[in-house]
Homo-oligomer: A and B are copies of this chain.
Amino acid sequence: MSNKKTSINDIAKHLNVAKSTVSFIINGKAEAHRISKKQEQRVLAYIKEIGYKPNYIAKSLATGKTNSIGLIVENIGDSFFGPIALMIEERAKKSGYRIIYSSTRNNTDDAVSVLQLFKDTHVDGFIIAPPVQMEEAITEVIHDKVPVVIFDRMLEGMDTDYVGTNNREVVEEACEHLLEQKFKNIAFISLTSPQSQMRERLEGYLQAMRKKEQTPTVLQMPYDSDRESYTSEIIHFLQTNPAIDAVFFATNYLCISGLEAIREMGKKIPDDIGIIAFDEHDLFRLFSPSITAIVQPLEQLSTAIIKILLDRIDKGSIAPHRHITIPSTFVIRESSVKKS
């Protein structure tokens, strides 16, 4: 019943064997230590009988391993990070790892302090979608030989494993599609973020504009704002730039605010204004008109992230750090295709 009390010591005493013998048997090292089958059976039977559960804390203290991974993301409640968190946890579980998470909302101080906390609790590895200026804190972690996989946004000049998508290329492709559809004045609405993924998306847009000698028009808004503010700022932006006839939104929630803005302004999609969003959302499939979007391969990203990390943790891989880029899919729907 109350299995909390029984320890290896109790078992050893009760069975008149040494603690080490019990420990070896429990950990499947009986053979390696040439413990007799009989002894092993006896111990195993007793363990089963009393329903013995090892104390993982003690084990962690002795081995230095906690079988836990720290997951630090922007927002676990969001439609990009949430599904990623789900898949990562399900894969980690299969390998015997638990996930401890924290949402940073892109606040560097919060991220650094939670990184410290997780490190002090001896997680075996980290998966991080870092806010800006985390380089130093992460370097320290790596210096202490704790494996780290960075994803979604890269930290320049840092030698870590990284998994992300081809932001620049796919945005360029999307913008070229708008140009082919004869949209003349394409705006880019994003965040005032120096993060790599945001910079790359902007570059993709600028590159497409440059190629066709179009003048870029960019709106960048602060990250820590709310939906209403985004919406009203977008309305203001579109009113003061009436020539704009298409918008690329650099995140899905900006696009959602954009759709509200466009609805309030009474504009028609795609006749008055063409729309493309980065990242998928249920809304985009079902909206009418449906919204053209860049869809990240969540499954593949998650699989790559956890695989790289577990290779380092379990197999102690010391292979050179990898930068893995998994291409996104550009899904053309109605919002970016002129009817005429």
Which residue numbers of A lie inside 8 Å of B, CB to CB?
A: 2, 4, 53-58, 60-61, 66, 68, 75-79, 82-87, 89-90, 93, 98-103, 114, 116-118, 120-122, 144, 256, 259-260, 263, 281-283, 285-288
CB-CB under 8 A from A61, the residues of chain B are 55, 57-58, 61
From B57, B84, B283, give the contact of A60 (CB < 8 A). B57
Query: For residue A78, which residues in chain B have a CB less than 8 angstroms away from its CB?
Result: 82
Q: How many copies does the complex hold?
A: 2
Q: From residue A213, how far is it (CB to closest CB) to chain B in Å?
A: 35
Distance of A286 Cα from B117 Cα, bound (Å): 40
Q: Considering the chains assembled together, what is the distance between the CA atoms of A223 and B76 in angstroms?
A: 23
Q: Are A54 and B120 in contact (CB under 8 A)?
A: yes
In the bound assembly, the distance between CA atoms of A118 and B90 in angstroms comes to 15
- Assuming the A-B contacts A56-B122, A100-B100, A120-B54, are A86 and B76 also in contact, with contact meaning beta carbons closer than 8 angstroms in the complex? yes
The verdict on A103 contacting B86 (CB below 8 Å), with A57-B60, A263-B286 known, is yes
Q: When chains A and B are docked, how far (Å) is the Cα of A256 from the Cα of B83? A: 17
Residues of B within 8 A of A114 (CB): 93
Nearest 3 Cβ contacts at the A-B interface: A77-B86, A77-B83, A82-B82
- Docked CA distance A117–B101 (Å): 17
Can you add 6 more A-B contacts, CB < 8 Å, to A89-B101, A98-B118, A282-B283?
A2-B144, A55-B122, A56-B121, A57-B61, A78-B82, A93-B114
| Shortest Cβ distance from A146 into B: residue | B4
Min CB distance, A148 to chain B, in Å?
16
A sample of 8 cross-chain residue pairs with beta-carbon separation below 8 angstroms, ordered by A number, consists of A55-B120, A56-B122, A77-B86, A89-B103, A98-B100, A99-B101, A101-B101, A283-B283
Minimum CB–CB distance from A256 to chain B (whole Å) comes to: 6
Which residues of chain B are within 8 angstroms of A57 by Cβ–Cβ distance? 57, 60-61, 66, 121-122
How far is the CB of A99 from the nearest CB of chain B, in Å?
6
Q: CB within 8 A of A286: which of B77, B86, B102, B283?
A: B283
Q: Are B82 and A77 in contact (CB under 8 A)?
A: yes
Contacts of A83 in B (CB 8 A): 77
Query: Contact partner of A282 among B54, B103, B281, CB < 8 A?
Result: B281
